[in-house]
C-alpha cells in the first residue's frame, strides 16, 4: 500500500516532518524550502529531493512530477510559524503581510488537489480568521477537515510543546491516532540526554561535532552555578540578578536563565535554545546551556542525524534555527501513522 503513496513536504526545513514520514513508512518525494542551509540535512538524512524554491512562486503544476503515476497524493507542510506566534502578535504589527504563506498553501492545494493534506503550526493560528478561511476553502474543495490541539508529551516527545495539527482528506473523516503516552510515562530530559558526554561551557565533543555548547561569560557562569533545576533567577543573590528582571516588565519571565529538570520534560525547544539566557535551557547538572545535539534529541531527531557537512563549521545560529524550527520527528511519525490508519 505504501508504494502507492507519494508525499511532498512544503516548508520542509531540515527534514523533521519528512523523516517522521519515512520512519513511519510513507515515502516523501520532495521537500521545498527557501533556506539553503536546509539542503544538506534534508538530503543527507532522507531519500527525498530538496528543492530550493519560494512557495510563493510554486504552482500546483510544479508538483505534478512528484505525483506522476501515484494513486494517493499527500501534501504536508509547516508554514513558518513566526507570524502567528505570541511574540509576533505583541510586537510585530506587520505580520499580516506574512500570512500570505498560508494563503499560498491553500492556493497550491486548489491547483493540485492532493488526496490528503496535513499542516502543522503554532496553536495561536487557530484564533486567526485566516485559519478559518483556510478551512472553509478546503471544505469548498470537498475535503473532510479536522484540526487537533496536540500536546507533544502525549506522543512520546520529551518537551512541553503544544501544536496545531490539521488533517484533511478527500476520502472521508480523518483523525489523529490516540495518544501513546500519559503523565505516568511522559518522556523526560534524563531519558533523552543523560548518557551524552559531559561538557564544560564552550566545549565540544571530539566524537560528535553537534554535541557543542556555547561559551558563558564569567557572570553567567556564576549565575548558572547559583541555579537549581526547575528554579528561577529569583533564587540568586542580588548581585547576580539582571537589571531588566528588576523592572516590572522583566518579573514575568522567571524561566530565562533556568536549568531543566532531569525527571521532567524540557521546555519548548526554540531557535535560541543553545543560549542559557534565552529560556530554561541550562543543563540540569552541568554548568552550561544544552548542546545542539541535546536540543536535536529533545526534538526527537535520531542521534545520527547530521545537520552540517563534515567540512563545514557548526554555527550555533544556523544549526539552532534548523533544530528549533523543525517539526519533531516523532510528531511527523504520528501524523504519518494517522494517515496510514485513515487509508486502511
Residues noted as catalytic = 81
**C-alpha grid cell for residue 220?**
553567567
Give the burial class of 250: count Cβ atoms within 10 A of its Cβ; 0-12 exposed, 13-18 middle, 19 or more buried: middle
Specify the length of the chain in residues.
344
- What residues pair up with 30 in beta bridges, in sequence order? 8, 49
C-alpha cell, 292: 545542539
**Residues sharing a CB contact under 8 Å with residue 184, sequence separation 6 or more, in sequence order:** none
Distance CA 131, CA 301 (A): 29
How is residue 247 written as a grid cell? Answer: 523592572
**Per-position b or e across 303-327, b if 16+ CB within 10 A of its CB:** eebbbbeeeeeeebebbbbbbbbbb
306 Cβ neighbours under 8 A, 6+ residues apart: 40, 41, 44, 45, 210
List beta partners, residue 164: 121, 149
Beta bridge partners of 168: 117, 145
Residue whose cell numbers read 496510514: 340
CA separation for the pair 19, 318 (Å, rounded)? 20
DSSP 204: B
- Residue 205, sorted as left (phi over 0), alpha (psi -120 to 50) or beta, turns out to be beta
SS3 50: strand
Amino acid at each position: 500500500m505504501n508504494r502507492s503513496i507519494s508525499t511532498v513536504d512544503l516548508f520542509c526545513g531540515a527534514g523533521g516532518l519528512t523523516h517522521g514520514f519515512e520512519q513511519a513508512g510513507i515515502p516523501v518525494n520532495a521537500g521545498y524550502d527557501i533556506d539553503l542551509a536546509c539542503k544538506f540535512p534534508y538530503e543527507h538524512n532522507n531519500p527525498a529531493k530538496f528543492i530550493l524554491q519560494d512557495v510563493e512562486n510554486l504552482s500546483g503544476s510544479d508538483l505534478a512530477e512528484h505525483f506522476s503515476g501515484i494513486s494517493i497524493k499527500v501534501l504536508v507542510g509547516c508554514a513558518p510559524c513566526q507570524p502567528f506566534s505570541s511574540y509576533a502578535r505583541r510586537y510585530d504589527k506587520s505580520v499580516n503581510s506574512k500570512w500570505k504563506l498560508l494563503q499560498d498553501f491553500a492556493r497550491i492545494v486548489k491547483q493540485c488537489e492532493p488526496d490528503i493534506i496535513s499542516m502543522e503550526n503554532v496553536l495561536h493560528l487557530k484564533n486567526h480568521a485566516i485559519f478559518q478561511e483556510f478551512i472553509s476553502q478546503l471544505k469548498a474543495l470537498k475535503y473532510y477537515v479536522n484540526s487537533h490541539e496536540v500536546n507533544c508529551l502525549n506522543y512520546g516527545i520529551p518537551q512541553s510543546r503544544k501544536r496545531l495539527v490539521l488533517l484533511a482528506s478527500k476520502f472521508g473523516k480523518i483523525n489523529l491516532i490516540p495518544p501513546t503516552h500519559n503523565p505516568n510515562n511522559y518522556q523526560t530530559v534524563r531519558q533523552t540526554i543523560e548518557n551524552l558526554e559531559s561538557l564544560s561551557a564552550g566545549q565540544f565533543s571530539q566524537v560528535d561535532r553537534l554535541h557543542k555548547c556555547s561559551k558563558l561569560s564569567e557572570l553567567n557562569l556564576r549565575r548558572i552555578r547559583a541555579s537549581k533545576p526547575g528554579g528561577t533567577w529569583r533564587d540568586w543573590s542580588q548581585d547576580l540578578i539582571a537589571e531588566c528582571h528588576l523592572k516590572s516588565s522583566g518579573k514575568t519571565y522567571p524561566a530565562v536563565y533556568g536549568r531543566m529538570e532531569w525527571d521532567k520534560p524540557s521546555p519548548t525547544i526554540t531557535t535560541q535554545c543553545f543560549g542559557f539566557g534565552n529560556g530554561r535551557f541550562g543543563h540540569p547538572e552541568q554548568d552550561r546551556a544544552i548542546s545542539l545535539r541535546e536540543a536535536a534529541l529533545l526534538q526527537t531527531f535520531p542521534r545520527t542525524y547530521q545537520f552540517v557537512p563534515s567540512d563545514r563549521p557548526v554555527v550555533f545560529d544556523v544549526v539552532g534555527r534548523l533544530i528549533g524550527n523543525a517539526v519533531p520527528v516523532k510528531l511527523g511519525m504520528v501524523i504519518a501513522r494517522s494517515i496510514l490508519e485513515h487509508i486502511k
